[in-house]
Structure 1
Amino acid sequence: MKMQRLAVTGLALVAIAGLSACEDKETPAATGGAGSSAAAEAAATTAPAAGDASRELAAAAAKLTNSTGKIHMTMIGGMTGDGSFDTPKRAVDMTMTMAGLGDVSVRQIGTDLYMKFGGSAAKAYGNGKWMHVDASKMPATSSLSLEKNDPRNSAKMLAEATEVKETSAGRYAGTIDISKSPTVTAEMLKALAGKSTQVPFTAEVKDGYLSKMSLDMDSVVKGAGSVDATYSDFGAKVEVAKPARSETVEMPESALKSLGG
């Protein structure tokens, strides 16, 4: 079940990260706009001064985490994910497809997290029903906790990125130390022991929003490929339905333990 655990933990982190709480809406938006303007001027004249590219990218990530939209992901092992999010409402609806293992669906409404497994994993995880957990009651060290999935984490991570440069208008490249990511857990650090934690990335910004990010995981595990996330439809209306009570069970301790809770 290791692959299923890693897949769903990754799904929870990605789907909820940046989507589970809100910052002040005015500051990031203003910063993002200024960043876009600065980037346009720089493209027309000279390259940005040292540090400008990093600040612009972090501002774009902050603007994303205060919006609504859609996300599409491709990951290691042929896994894909599609969903939508509404940060102001603390809402997310995402489905991960894993080759040979079936689908995993995640919904978050406020602090309520719902997960549903299909395929071969369904019997071990809720018997095909939605499993519910109150994320606010998870310990801070849990990959399912609100602390690990604070919306500002993505911006914080990009703010700490090194060697960030604007390669062309709206396109960036740099390096992230994933061991310092706010979302990393003790289990993840253990798995990274003895491996490089410096991960090259590329990112794109559209209309002041972070619109695409790709992490080259080959630097950590050879042959792992990349993890790619594309964000779109910024500002679109998003509705996330609460699963029917008859189709919902509280997440059992065995599942909590398996999923890092």
Structure 2
Amino acid sequence: MNKTKLLISAVLPMLSLTVAAQDDNTPVKGDFTVAATVGYNSYTNVNALPGNLTDYEAIAPNSLWNQKKLMVGFEAGYFVSDKWKLNLGGGLNFNHHPGYPDVPGTIDDITGDDTLGEIPNYRAVASQYSCTWNAYTGVDRYFSISGISNLMWYTGVRVGMAYALNEQKYDEWTSMGKSVGETWSLRGSLTIGFDYYVLPAMFVGFSVDPFAYAYNMTTHKPQEGLKSLEADSHDYSILAAPTLKIGFKF
């Protein structure tokens, strides 16, 4: 009898999932969705260029997705009809690196017999603060797949903005004070993807941008009190920003 109860307890959940999978769980007009996303979609970043005793320069780092780190974000959606959904999403990263002073060596010291030391200087570790965020909105058109229930593919458009900040300060005599790098980018893309409703209120999905364009503007202030240097770039990407997501329908 105990074995029978255990078998029934194990089989019933699977039967329930099977029945649920046979139903049409796809969203309809008025449904909300919220999903966690993970992908190479931070779009922009920047490193401050500390000032020195010679010259300053400005570099516009690109905003190509394949040179970025993974970012965890969110995406919220609202179905204005059974086939059209409005989207809003984004992500945020920030971190702080403590700084450490330099350690003088002997390579710059002249001894009494006019010989140089052999130990190089250890440069200071910069104290750093960084913040990166992106936000986007868009609209998707959903299509049902004949013969496969609960699976829908979609195509849509996205527009968004990303911002990054990096501050560095070295505790050493050659440093010219805190340096700041800032960058922002405007981005537009075409998007294609699919959502599969594994349960009536839960889905998993994947998306990629067949084409994306981003304009990036970067400013560097190598030390406080100086005018910022500026540089910009134009980035074009094919099959950009692959993203996985897991979400819920309400």
TM over 0.5: no
TM-score bracket, normalised by the shorter chain, equals 0.3 to 0.5
* TM-score, length-scaled by structure 2: 0.32
Question: Of Structure 1 and Structure 2, which has the larger fraction of its residues in helix?
Answer: 1
TM-score, length-normalised on structure 1? 0.31
Task: Choose 1 or 2 for highest CA Rg.
Answer: 2
